[in-house]
Structure 1
């Protein structure tokens, strides 16, 4: 049985409930550590499998210096395939199906073990499918929805409700996916030039992910009921969209980039809030050692996140494109990247990669992006990766796979001018051309300049009297007021 920390009964007590995915856990854990530092008691709810992985990777080592911060777990229905410490094989679909039925009861079973009353719940906006609003109602406490992505990403998902009301989705049939209809422009206040193809494929209502439209609708309707919502973005980056959100919802907080807010604590109090300690995978320090041997801005960092799946053919096309670009590259190839299985590169490609490439299974991404040797980032365009790259002033090549990545990519390329896009049908010659342009071309120079401008704006937002700094203070004040009611 997990040990429950003895806490000050007078402190506000916030329960965090993340979506059980690496990027969402990382983002919410940073927010949890931030509000804990500001004097609130925190209980962080992980699934049993993810908590086991977090501990195994060293992601909880900082807890020794964090009294009043505890992890508790709920079952996720996953069973290890052996009696060893091997991680159970899991898919998001498996976990989601189990949690949709079992999370509420499992969570409420934990409540009597808490030593202090719950002040409020901070739930991932996508976790409402597990009835987190019902949990808050049963406890008689408010719920705050935390969207771990950008304002543009949220509004992309929110279009499921808007477009259905307009009769635009679901599409009539799958032919609309290929007949050019997806090039139709969509009117979204605060966003210019957004097409149907730039929105999450989940909202289209046809094809392999047709079932997800219902989920998107329900999630949007839960957002309509929320009294408080948090976004991991900053005003300077998305000012027009934040104005739109504030006109739509009662109370909005923008609190990004979170790592830069944590860095403020380092500067003021010399606390150890480093970039690592949030990963479900073991981070390989050899990546940084390899980068130390390279010239400034000479390395392309390549990582497609924690969920994207590639075919072996796509992997090979990326590989030859990177090799033929004649630039150094650090390539993260997860053990389940190729259709959920380990990648086996062709021997001839593996051999030539040794000349200019370094392959690892995982790394401390923020440390890599902030390394002076890194001059560009080939990314899937997940929001965690994008905001970390902007925080480091690193320009990008974006290859979106699903979800908010298409919307992020459209904004990165057109609005923020920090990225170039590669088509989803990956060809080595296109990858080669884009990498060369990013690293030494005139377009790369322009994108790098813009990325540095966004970096400075992110630092201003998280500095003294910056919009994100003020919003986190306002959020904590609001939670303190809730504890007095």
Structure 2
């Protein structure tokens, strides 16, 4: 029988697949003093415990399992609990021989709150607490009957401590950086920003006095019109010992060079210059994207999902009911962005006044607590009635299904890399409203390099929202040009993951490389 929910290990039941046949009964965990006798490579994947990192990691896990590897996917205990509450037991048990979930503590106090934990605290806590737990997990798996010893660890770039722990245990160790290549290249140059005196900022006035518009034109592989404000926002500090600044420098200067290789979720045609610069510094870089249905089809292990929020199943039916193709504006600020109630009101008013049908994702934890929690949706009185039939607000959705729907014509996005890449793969142009980290870098590229986006001001009010939606959803020359460019990037993404494509070749090269080391 499957292990109980409280157990740190939860097994999958066997399932039909190209490489796996259905077994007659379920697996059971039993400790053993002898490692399993097997030649199957066993890869352990350790994502950073935030939604935008877990998603591509699970897609990578499916792709590797489909190619014959034994996979262990590690959640933190906090996210394991969230998955159980939002998705049920099927999210952490289910359907594949040779695919299992494990959990480790994240080092933060226990919480039942279904929200992303504090990013700064989480980065510090995982680096402090997780190495020992990772070692214990690898050792326990090595004593588990029927499970091949772990031969390789793939850790999130934000969990770079795992490289050193894995190396100490004699394992292969790779880092999967989940940002864009242009975002990652920015992180690789954080140390140069410090050495050249750009960072830390001299005082608080540098946030508003135009200093952020300083050109940064000396980084090989980046666009020529890059500004300091286009760098991941962790550089915006007056403290030389800022936690996020120093952690990001450590990840790039110590962790990444120590890894056996680097994995990126992008494709060559989209970010060739940045990728060439990254390969100059980290030659064993694998470009595997876009990790999604083409790499690991939806029909492969469909019960294995990674959404930490329960998805609203009304979305596709509502989109089906829209008469016109490309008529709906999809709005989603991602899994971390928080806004004020006043900002919610301004966006609501702007979306209503723009006139286009819209599908708006409003997470339960999206509105910043302002002391006025009355439990109501933070939109103007009468708003729901006003937009009935042409506006749908949901707590979470299947984003790929929404972006891929024939009715969706635009995406108002925070420009997280998953969202940006999914939008490009769906051929949907974007209204860009970046919040933090490398979202600002992705926004700059979407608008200036890839030709698929329009940036909205950080303090956009109803007028700016209305004007931007009308521009993107209209039939003007700029909107038409963005739709053409989006269609071109979609076609190139399809080629990258097709048989013989650049990403498929790198995925095969990666599998071959880790398969050479046996248990």
Same fold (TM over 0.5): yes
Quote the offset at 1:179 in angstroms.
1.1
Correspondence for 2:209 among 179, 202, 222: 179
Correspondence for 2:53 among 1, 16, 24: 24
- Matching residue of 1:291: 319
What are structure 1's unaligned runs of at least 5 residues? none
* Contact 1:309 1:337 (8 Å CA) reproduced: yes
Secondary structure of the 2:292 match is: helix
In the TM superposition, what whole-angstrom CA distance separates every residue of 1:76-104 from its partner, at most 9, and x where no partner exists? 334346xxxx7488433443343232111
Quote the offset at 1:275 in angstroms.
10
- Matching residue of 1:107: 134
User: Are 2:127 and 1:92 aligned?
Assistant: no
Map 1:39-188; keep pairs closer than 5 Å: 39-58=68-87, 61=90, 64-76=94-106, 77-80=108-111, 87=114, 90-114=117-141, 115-128=147-160, 131-187=161-217, 188=219
Correspondence for 2:310 among 259, 266, 282: 282
| Aligned-partner Cα distance in 1 for 2:115–2:281 | 42
User: Are 2:368 and 1:368 aligned?
Assistant: no
Q: 1:60 to 1:458 in 2, by over 3 A?
A: farther
User: Are 2:291 and 1:258 aligned?
Assistant: yes
In the TM superposition, what whole-angstrom CA distance separates every residue of 1:309-351 from its partner, at most 9, and x where no partner exists? 1111111111111000001000000001011676522313343
| Aligned-partner Cα distance in 2 for 1:301–1:127 | 32
Secondary structure of the 1:156 match is: helix
Deviates more, 1:102-111 or 1:312-321: 102-111
| Aligned-partner Cα distance in 2 for 1:217–1:134 | 16
Correspondence for 2:504 among 465, 469, 480: 469
- Matching residue of 1:321: 350
- Matching residue of 2:232: 200
Quote the offset at 1:273 in angstroms.
5.3
Q: 1:94 to 1:190 in 2, by over 3 A?
A: closer
What are structure 2's unaligned runs of at least 5 residues? 1-6, 12-26, 30-35, 142-146
Q: 1:367 to 1:305 in 2, by over 3 A?
A: same
| Aligned-partner Cα distance in 2 for 1:244–1:89 | 33
* Contact 1:174 1:207 (8 Å CA) reproduced: no
* Contact 1:205 1:212 (8 Å CA) reproduced: no
Deviates more, 1:217-226 or 1:190-199: 217-226
Deviates more, 1:183-192 or 1:473-482: 183-192
- Matching residue of 1:426: 460
* Contact 2:78 2:111 (8 Å CA) reproduced: no
| Aligned-partner Cα distance in 1 for 2:109–2:449 | 42
| More helix as a share of residues | 1
| Aligned-partner Cα distance in 2 for 1:209–1:305 | 29
* Contact 1:78 1:88 (8 Å CA) reproduced: no
User: Are 2:244 and 1:212 aligned?
Assistant: yes
User: Are 2:339 and 1:310 aligned?
Assistant: yes
* Contact 1:151 1:231 (8 Å CA) reproduced: yes
| Aligned-partner Cα distance in 1 for 2:222–2:164 | 33
Correspondence for 1:245 among 263, 275, 278: 278
Map 1:287-436; keep pairs closer than 5 Å: 287-294=315-322, 295-339=324-368, 343-436=377-470
| Aligned-partner Cα distance in 2 for 1:276–1:316 | 36
* Contact 2:49 2:75 (8 Å CA) reproduced: yes
| Aligned-partner Cα distance in 1 for 2:272–2:261 | 18
| Aligned-partner Cα distance in 1 for 2:389–2:45 | 45
* Contact 1:292 1:373 (8 Å CA) reproduced: yes
| Aligned-partner Cα distance in 2 for 1:262–1:286 | 27
RMSD after superposition: 2.3
Q: 1:237 to 1:89 in 2, by over 3 A?
A: closer
* Contact 1:13 1:40 (8 Å CA) reproduced: yes
* Contact 1:204 1:210 (8 Å CA) reproduced: no
Quote the offset at 1:3 in angstroms.
4.7
| Aligned-partner Cα distance in 2 for 1:396–1:98 | 35
* Contact 2:164 2:258 (8 Å CA) reproduced: no
| Aligned-partner Cα distance in 1 for 2:166–2:127 | 16
Secondary structure of the 1:281 match is: coil
* Contact 2:265 2:289 (8 Å CA) reproduced: yes
> TM-score with structure 1 length normalisation?
0.92
| Aligned-partner Cα distance in 2 for 1:122–1:72 | 14
Deviates more, 1:357-366 or 1:242-251: 242-251
| Aligned-partner Cα distance in 2 for 1:98–1:179 | 35
| Aligned-partner Cα distance in 2 for 1:372–1:273 | 25
In the TM superposition, what whole-angstrom CA distance separates every residue of 1:215-236 from its partner, at most 9, and x where no partner exists? 2211221223333001100001
Q: 1:159 to 1:446 in 2, by over 3 A?
A: same
- Matching residue of 2:221: 190
